[in-house]
Amino acid sequence: MTTAAELLADVRPILADPSKQRWTDDRLLKLLNEGLLNLAINTKLFVAKKFITIADALINFDLSDIAVTITRIQYNETIVPFKTIQEMDELSSKWELDTGKTPSAIIISQQNRAWFRLYPIIEDLATLTTPLDMIDSPYGPTIVVTHASPLLGTVSNIGNTSNIPPGDHLIVYYSEKPAVLTAVGDTLITDDFANSALLHYVAGMAFRDNLDVQSSSMGDSELGLFSGFVDKLNNKKAENFNSTNYKTAYNPFG
């Protein structure tokens, strides 16, 4: 496995800064963390999945502690289509009050891409014997899924898809939030191909620290290479993942 220090050592010749006079390790490590987050948002590289048992009137879910975006959701074995809050508002001003037996749409938010809501409100399901972690939010009572959720008495209601208990449930595919690298000795979980993409991201964003035309041009060139790797990573993962509900318009320049 590659360490952050090894990847940054490969970046420095591109920057012509082998003696670390212009960019500190801390600055490049920050850019490396940004690159990992970029890959999580704009590729399927970190796609993971969990099951969540659903029950009467439990409709709001927040995975922002573990995810950067939701990519697909199944109700039992059926894929449920995504709808935005705006799309629902255009259909009916009272859609939030609708009830039904099964979810027909997953409502997503542009402000929090790891939050979703079931539509309609599901009725006549079993009441959970073990309560899920819930908070009040602008969306109403919300189930919060964290890394610790299976350890807080909710193991029968949230967990890995290898051991789904009987009953109605969601299978949530999401792009996992990468762990933050805090030191150059930390190990990257990405493979060599993704590390090559990260190398170009760090170099490109570092060049953009400078305001001169030449540095800006070199930064754009490196970020263009990064964008090409993103496209290839998406094609590579698409072989093993059905991207029915996964859409992205990627622009590495922000």
Q: What is the pLDDT of residues 128-155, one digit of tens each?
A: 444 445 555 555 556 667 655 543 333 3
Q: Are residues 194 and 135 in the same domain?
A: no
Instruction: Give how many domains the chain has, as a whole number.
Output: 2
Q: Are residues 52 and 147 in the same domain?
A: yes
Q: What is the pTM of this model?
A: 0.76
Q: Are residues 118 and 146 in the same domain?
A: yes
Beta-ladder partners of 10: none
20 within some domain: yes
Task: Evaluate if residue 248 carries a pLDDT over 60.
Answer: no
The residue ranking higher by pLDDT, 242 or 74, is: 74
Q: What is the mean pLDDT of residues 235-251?
A: 47
The residue ranking higher by pLDDT, 242 or 145, is: 145
Q: Are residues 131 and 13 in the same domain?
A: no
Q: What is the mean pLDDT of residues 2-24?
A: 96
The CA angle 243-148-164, to the nearest 5 degrees, is 55
pLDDT score, position 21 = 94
CB neighbour class for 233 (10 Å; exposed up to 12, middle 13-18, buried from 19): buried
Task: Evaluate if residue 241 carries a pLDDT over 70.
Answer: no
pLDDT score, position 101 = 85
Beta-ladder partners of 111: none
Task: Evaluate if residue 230 carries a pLDDT over 80.
Answer: yes
Q: Are residues 172 and 58 in the same domain?
A: yes
Share of the chain above pLDDT 70, in %: 77
Q: What is the pLDDT of residues 24-57, one digit of tens each?
A: 999 999 999 999 999 999 998 899 998 888 766 6
Task: Evaluate if residue 23 carries a pLDDT over 80.
Answer: yes
pLDDT score, position 238 = 47
DSSP secondary structure, the chain, as one string: --BHHHHHHHHHHHHT-TT-SSS-HHHHHHHHHHHHHHHHHHSSTTEEEEEEE--TT--EEE-TTTEEEEEEEEETTEE--EEEHHHHHHH-TTGGG-EESS--EEEE-SS-TTEEEEESEE-SPPPPSSPPPEE--TTSSEEE--TTGGGTT-TTTEE-GGGPPSS-EEEEEEEEPPPPP-STTPBP-S-HHHHHHHHHHHHHHHHTTS-SHHHHHHHHHHHHHHHHHHHHHHHHHHTTS--TT------TT-
| 186: containing domain | 4-45+179-238
Q: How sure is the predictor about 209, in pLDDT bands with cuts at 50, 70 and 90?
A: very high
Q: What is the pLDDT of residues 63-75, one digit of tens each?
A: 888 999 999 999 9
Q: Are residues 85 and 54 in the same domain?
A: yes
Q: Are residues 66 and 105 in the same domain?
A: yes
Q: How sure is the predictor about 166, in pLDDT bands with cuts at 50, 70 and 90?
A: confident
pLDDT score, position 250 = 43
Domain's final residue, options 135, 155, 176:
176
